[in-house]
Structure 1
């Protein structure tokens, strides 16, 4: 160790300059820093889900549709509201990337005059609006789709072209143009407009994540700097930890860019993980240096002692973190594997910088550089804590055991679930838009049921179409959240009614007659309003579109499973559920389950590593308790409160485990060093005096840093911050109170 310190001392300036140059060179790659918000990155390239969805897009030109809605308390059938719809329809159609716009005004109204079929725009001018109102409020193809049942809310659907919908940049552009247009019309008309739809979700995910990266991340760094200043009131107290954190962050991001990865709404949290890892390493080293310098030790010797007492635990924590999170790196889900690679490389880079750059910076200081132990840390320089733990160990363990039993009971109610709309805070455009549409007109979530008739022209089979009607009735009976459904079947029923002057709509019993109806109807439609978005070119597949209220992913998957089972068990047909809402449901479940599996693997690997290091099984069992218990306790509370485990909570478990493991390793490292020559009570005092301050300070700084993310409009980030902060403080309490009490009982039993 002395020769290593001598090497650092001789080359301290070279090391600082060399590392700084390396960071600068690597950081050049950050000019290519990009962001990817496409849903495809969340699936394996050979995913059947993606292949089925691509087939759906090829057959029906996709489902990328923005929705714009507004309400007129007096009813929309007045000149002001109708003119607004007419004008907006025209304005929206001009936006690049938009394929068609569907609204009340250009709804293709079917009627018969002198035995001729007429299909025309429902409203072309502002005349006879009351007559139009009486027709519309009885038309089941309009109600709960383009207008509300009370006639006070109107909805305009803005469909993107098939090629545009897969590009998140187009989604963002169209979203921006829609906001510009409706903002202008809000000033002109006084109406409040609401925007929703799956492209709006995609666009919002990207813009909010970019906002968090550009604003909250720097704010988090500033929070770290401010906390360091408030604690140390010393220039080096800010510089050393901050340099390690920032350099680690820049190198990790640069490596990600060099490997061809882009940021997404998952990996945008990489700086949070890097901050946690880097500050934990550098803080233990720096506080040890401060402690020895406050004892009037010469600077070089203080650096030597700081490294001597912390090199092994820092190396151990970095190794366990790197190996543990490497399990994420083998995931087939790109963002998760990216995160695993980032954390693994971050742990190793933070280790290297903490034992090279950080001591090199400290060695640049002269012996006359004055260092004072921060006031709040002097409170931890206590005696008698170990004796207190020894006397009260049974009571402490009993209290915590009771706490575990009571809180752990809530685990029975914990659910792994999520909700793509509720991922956004209530005041965001997409959330407020979805809430308004659900409350005022129809379900904002859209599911696309693709039914395979197994034969060419099969959609014209009367028996099949009647089965579609039965399916819709039973579906809505089983799932009340489904508010509306629409398909080509509805048009066929309308044609039968209009052309035969029947009051009740029904399916014709003649296949040839249905074919004639569809041919006549298709020839009557204007360009751009064809039926190729309802059936495929071979007329084998039928598309049934469902509009549902917002519901959790578990309900989405339950409904999807029910639909597919219904069709597989009811005749020769089959069906699958497509659309981006279904994609989100598959995606959320896949991500969360994968994270939970990876975290479990991480814990197993860490336990094995600790067994190899400590070589004492009983000690490893003691090691597990303060690391797993915080996650269990927080999960139990979530079960009581009915809060589901979503992506944010699952990510937080990784951070909690990483920091808790670091603290416990430092505790055991100091304890094993002290117990060789000291009593149990003295050893606990030694641990508190030499590691307790770093553990407390690390937890305090990380808590303040993570709380910054409660300002995010992305709810998983908020959940991540809250759960992580609570659990980290629980972990600290367990390490400083429960762990020594367990050790006391363990030693008492083995005497």
Structure 2
């Protein structure tokens, strides 16, 4: 069948090329509409309880995690020149695109009591620009007496100050997010130049935007770098510009088709799908090497170009097909998880790995038929003395040193298992960044001065309409739990409507800071009208929008049944967060009677780290199912349990070695590192299939003599396997130059896995076949 297919391709080469080029042009046109996605909650399946809790929170209170924080340290904040510069900075940031509000010292609000009208009037604490130092000193004294702002806008112990910049949710989650962040950074840069005060910027929108931009920038370079390294390696091997360009054209079409597929399926570029184009390059190159190597080896003997092309398809079509099927299975299993992020990655990668097969099957033979026959220099690599010596040594190890091969393998397995026992799983929002990166150092500055910027939401449901204000016990409980959170080393100052009530109580007593506390039952009748008036003013007074009325509306639902406590926290990682939340939940259950209250912890930080955990577990589960499906495909292909056993062992050991090395060197399991196993499994199994199919094809020619067939297979397939491995390693080595630790790990760990897989398939696999053939 494959030989007939080869003749059909040569006969209809022009029509097939036109169809392929036109369809690729169409996919390129569609790929121009590709968009980025910044919604990490897609990593969590809709059935997950944390996902449901977060969606319920969004529906009730709107988006969280849409605040960028700007901080700086100075002892001169009370200097009128410096304060005026801070006020100018606040105004400039407020004018930036996408900014809907800025909470800072210059915009701080105070409440003044009007006894005749029984209401509060909201007034600005500060009135910049200041010409008189005494006026600023007077306003600063008022501000320092307002305990509501302590540890929220300033840290008195470290002379640190912060601005909270609230962003438009729709814009910050669109492609305009980079422009918005840049618009905020421009006045900050000017402020630094004018005052020589170092500023720090953080917050989830800022971190996500900057990290996404870095990833997109790096992936573009890595895509170009993988093309360049593959081109150089192919040129060094084949000594043919036409062979190099043909191979690059195949993977280039594969990249275009992958991008077009995302658009046609309605997908966007995510954390995982962004890896598909570079992976298509390194996965597509082996197809080209297998075809070209067989074409050159057959032509060298037959010296007939068309016959060599037909034989190339006849001999390598089935090999390449099953290699791509195995690789596609390794990725497509993600489509069966309940996570949309993994589904999209699995669907797009699985489809396009199979499309790579059809692209290479049509394009390479058609192009070769138009080109001239290979010149002697193009096939000289088949007689490489250095590779021949390597293959001779492999042959000797197979037949003369079987015990040593098993011994070395056993040592590797024991070493790996010991390392695996040391592995741990942990993911942070910024753990892939180097500790010298400004994103990382700025985050740590906020953690040192304000205990972090990662949003956490605590939802208190009283289970009754107006349950928050039926009596003061609920308010007291919320305050008690807020104080507990405030005492925790990983938590910043919590915010809730109770803090607004405490602010109002201080105002009721004419700003006396000793009265900043929870209302008593005695005070409630006297303060009721004041609180009600301030709450109503928030609808029409811009001055109040950042203070009392805004908090009452933002932190209580319309039925006055549910309240929220918003608190920022440190980036403690996915390993510590569950135990931390469990401890907080136990404390909440002690304070809030579970029969009358329901307390839920949610927020974008919880969802983000839950997504990381889910990706890790999904990848681990997918690797297991990939092994099962690949094993079934191998069993169907070779119809032998002995061959199945022999084929799986050389592919399990490289994964064990990689996992062991991760344990020994302290690389944690996270989405970027777990992906190594799926990538490596899908590629390494190609080597096994290549070897075993050639063994199967050569066995009848050698009168079913296993030893002679093994020798022949090692010498005929060894060269292409080594070449393929070197090209793949070169393609992944480019990732080692990333500034992201996870991407670097993906590069060198995958290269390590492929190097070990080459060894096990060329040395251990023949030994296993020889051993089990004797037993039959």
Considering the TM-score relative to the shorter chain, is it more than 0.5? yes
Alpha-carbon distance in structure 2 between the residues aligned to 1:43 and 1:206: 19
The equivalences for 1:409-428 within 5 A come to 409-426=418-435
How many residues matched?
748
Q: 2:579 aligns with which of 554, 558, 561?
A: 558
Q: CA deviation at 1:157?
A: 0.4
Q: Could you tell me whether the CA contact under 8 Å between 1:445 and 1:547 is conserved in 2?
A: yes
Query: Does residue 604 of structure 2 align to residue 619 of structure 1?
Result: no
1:585-617 per-residue CA deviation (whole Å, 9 max, x = no partner) reads: 222222222222222211111112212222222
Does the 8 Å CA contact 1:288/1:690 hold for their aligned counterparts?
no
The answer to whether 1:686 aligns with 2:699 is: no
1:260 aligned to 2:266?
A: yes
Structure 2 residue aligned with 1:633, among 645, 657, 660?
657
| Aligned 1:181-200 pairs, distance under 5 A | 181-200=187-206
Match of 1:484, SS state, is coil
> C-alpha distance in 2, partners of 1:130/1:701?
69
Whether 2:126 is the aligned partner of 1:123: answer yes
Are the equivalent residues in 2 in contact too, given 1:149–1:441 (CA < 8 A)?
no
- Alignment partner of 2:744 out of 694, 698, 718: 718
Preserved contact between residue 6 and residue 314 of structure 2 (Cα < 8 Å): no
CA distance in 1, matches of 2:46, 2:450: 38
How much does 1:279 deviate? 1.4
Q: Which one is further off, 35-44 or 257-266?
A: 35-44
SS of the counterpart of 2:757? Answer: helix
How far off is 1:707 after superposition? 2.7
Comparing 61-70 with 696-705, greater Cα deviation is found at: 61-70
> Match for residue 94 of structure 1?
95
Q: Which of 531, 547, 563 is the equivalent residue of 1:542?
A: 563
- Return the offset for 1:656: 0.5
Pair 139,747 (structure 1): closer, same or farther in 2 beyond 3 Å: farther
Deviation of 1:568 (Å): 4.5
2:155 corresponds to 1:144 = no
8 Å contact kept, 2:109–2:544: no
Q: Which residue of 2 aligns with 1:372?
A: 379
What CA distance in whole angstroms lies between the structure 2 residues aligned with 1:383 and 1:497?
88
Deviation at 1:158, TM superposition (A): 0.6
Structure-2 residue corresponding to 1:333: 339
What is the CA-CA distance between 1:178 and the residue it aligns to? 0.6
Contact 1:110 1:118 (C-alpha < 8 Å) held by counterparts: yes
- TM-superposed CA distance for 1:205, in Å, is 4.5
* Residue of structure 1 equivalent to 2:623: 599
1:404–1:119 Cα change, 3 Å: same
- CA shift digits 1:415-444 (9 cap, x unpaired): 333111224444655434312222344312
The counterpart of 2:163, out of the listed 111, 132, 156, is 156
Displacement of 1:658: 0.4
Matched position secondary structure for 2:494: strand
Pick closer, same or farther for the CA change 1:375–1:605 going to 2, 3 Å. closer
Query: Is the contact between residue 270 and residue 341 of structure 2 (CA under 8 Å) also seen in structure 1?
Result: yes
Partners in 2 of 1:58 and 1:390 — Cα distance?
Answer: 69
Q: Which shifted more, 603-612 or 441-450?
A: 441-450
Matched, 1:448 2:457: yes
* Structure 1 residues 171 and 533: alpha-carbon distance in aligned structure 2, compared to 1, 3 A threshold: farther
Q: Is the 8 A contact 1:206 1:264 kept in 2?
A: no
Q: Say if 1:496 and 1:236 are closer, same or farther in 2 by CA, change over 3 A.
A: same
Equivalent residue, structure 1, for 2:249:
243
Structure 2 equivalent of residue 490 of structure 1: 499
| Deviation of 1:654 (Å) | 1.4
Q: Secondary structure at the match of 2:154?
A: coil
State TM-score, norm by structure 2: 0.88
Closer/same/farther in 2, CA of residues 9 and 369 from structure 1, 3 Å limit: farther
Q: Is the 8 A contact 1:303 1:359 kept in 2?
A: yes
Query: What is the match of residue 30 of structure 2?
Result: 29
**What displacement does 1:182 show?**
1.5
1:162 positional shift: 5.3
Q: 1:256 to 1:198 in 2, by over 3 A?
A: same
**TM-fit CA distance, 1:315:** 1.8
Matched, 1:667 2:691: yes
- Counterpart residue number, 1:708: 734
SS of equivalent to 2:380: coil
SS of equivalent to 1:450? strand
Instruction: Give TM-score, length-normalised by structure 1.
Output: 0.91
Shift of 1:661: 0.8
Deviations 1:479-516 (A, max 9, x none): 53223322222333344455455736442331556745
Secondary structure of 1:229 counterpart: helix
- For 2:13 and 2:319, how far apart are their aligned partners in 1? 23
Uncovered stretches (5+) of structure 2, i.e. residues with no partner? none
